Amino acid sequence: MVQAPAHSGHQAVVQSASTASAVPSQQNARIRRRDLESVGRLGVGAFGVVTLEADKRTGRTYALKAVSKGYLVKLGMEHSVKNEKKILEMLNSPFVIKLLNTYNGGQHVYFLLEAALGGELFTTYERHRLYGCEKHARFYVACVVEALAHLHKHSVVYRDLKPENLLLDERGYCKLTDMGLAKITKGLTYTLVGTPDYMAPEVIKCTGHGEAVDWWMLGVLLFELLAGRAPFEAESTERVYELVRQGIMYVRFPSNCQRTAVDLVHGLCRDRPEERLREAAVWKHPWFFRFNWNELRTLQYKPPYLPTVTGPRDLANFRSCEDDDPPLMVYQDSGNGWDADFGDDGTDTLPEAPVAMSRCSSSEASKAPLDAAAHGRTVAAAGKSASWTPRPVAANSAVGGC
C-alpha cells in the first residue's frame, strides 16, 4: 500500500515554529476534510495520490493519502487498508508517521497524516550523495531501530523497510511511513510480501516469518546506505532470491566500510531468524559506541543533516509528480459496508482526487504489483523481474561531511 510518500512526518518531534506542519494536540479541534485545501502532490502510485493539504483555519499542513476503492476491491485488499488504519491508530512514536484522521469518499478512503517536509531518505541520499557516510547512516539506522522496537512492542511486523519508506521531518529526524504491508501477529505469518531486495530468506521460502524479518531488513538498509546498492541486487527477482538464500557472508562490502559496520550487518542478516540481533543487541553494538540513545529518544540529538524547509507549504524536498496520474479504477459500492470505519463526519463535500501513488513492494504472488517502478528500483509481484540501478557512493558529501 502506498503512504504519504514515504511522504509524510510525525509528532513527538518538536515542531519548528517556522513550518507549522506539525501534529496538533489531542485537545485541538478535529480536522475536517472540508477545511482542507490542496497545496500540491507529495507522491503518486498504484493505489492513489498523496497530497499536501493546508487547514484553511490554521494554516497548518498535513499529508492526505487517497486510496482508490476501485483498486482495492479489484485486488481484494479491502481488509488490508482497514488493517493499515488499525495499526496507525495503535502507534504513537516520534519515529513513526502519525495518523490524525480518516475520511470516506465516493471513490477513495483517505488517511490524514502528519507531513514530514524534509522528504524521502532515498531522495535525500540521491541528491546529496550521502551513500558511504557512516555518520549519517548511524543516525538514520538508530531512528529506524526505535521505530521497529515500538512496532514490535505492539506486535506489529512492518515488512517493507527501505529508504523510500523513510521520511525526514523539518528537524532532520527520520520517520517510518506506510503501514500498507504491516501486520499484527504474535506468531508466524506465511504471505510472500515485501520488496525482493529486502526480503528475508524465510519470506522467500514461505516457511513462516515474524518480527525477525524487520531486523533482516534493517541490515539490508544499513548495507545500502553504506554501499549505495542493495546487497542482493541482481538482474531478476529470481536471481535476487538465489543470492538471499546464499547468504550475507557471500556479499562483498565496500573497502572503506568499518569492521564494526560489517559485523552489525552480518548480525542482523543471519540466516536463522532466531539468531538475528534485536534492538537490545543493536543498542549495545560497537558500531554505536558513544552514540547517545537517550538524546535520540528525547529528540535532543543533533541530526547530521538539516533539510531546507522554507515553510509549511514547501514541496521542494519531494520529486515532482504533478503529471503522474494513476489509472482510473471506478468503484461501485456493493453495500457491504467494508469502508464504514473511515467516517467523514458528514463533511465529504470535496471533489474526488484521482487514483495513484508510487512505491515498489510486492504483495502476494497471486496479485498484481502494488507499485510501479520508482527511483530506479523496479519490483513486481513474486516471480516477476526486478532490477536495480546502483547509486554513486559519496566521496566527499556536500552535506555535513561524512
**Sheet-wide strand order for 61-68:** 36-44, 48-55, 61-68, 108-114, 99-104
Q: Do residues 214 and 114 lie in contact, with contact meaning Cβ atoms separated by under 8 Å?
A: no
35 flagged as catalytic: no
Q: Which of 160, 314, 339, 371 is catalytic?
A: 160
The full DSSP string for 274-320 is: GGS--HHHHHT-GGGTT--HHHHHTT-S--S------STT--TTS--
The x, y and z cell numbers of residue 284, run together, are 549495545
The rounded distance, in Å, linking the Cα atoms of 63 and 113 is: 5
Name, in order, each residue with C-beta under 8 angstroms of 272's C-beta and a sequence gap of 6 or more: none
Q: Which of the 8 DSSP states describes residue 41?
A: E
Q: Supply the Cα-derived Rg of the chain in whole angstroms.
A: 20
Smallest Cα–Cα separation from 48: which of 372, 376, 385?
A: 372
**Helix 212-227 vs helix 134-153: crossing angle, to nearest 10:** 170
The rounded Cα 169 to chain-centroid distance in angstroms is 13
Any idea which residues carry the catalytic annotation?
Answer: 160
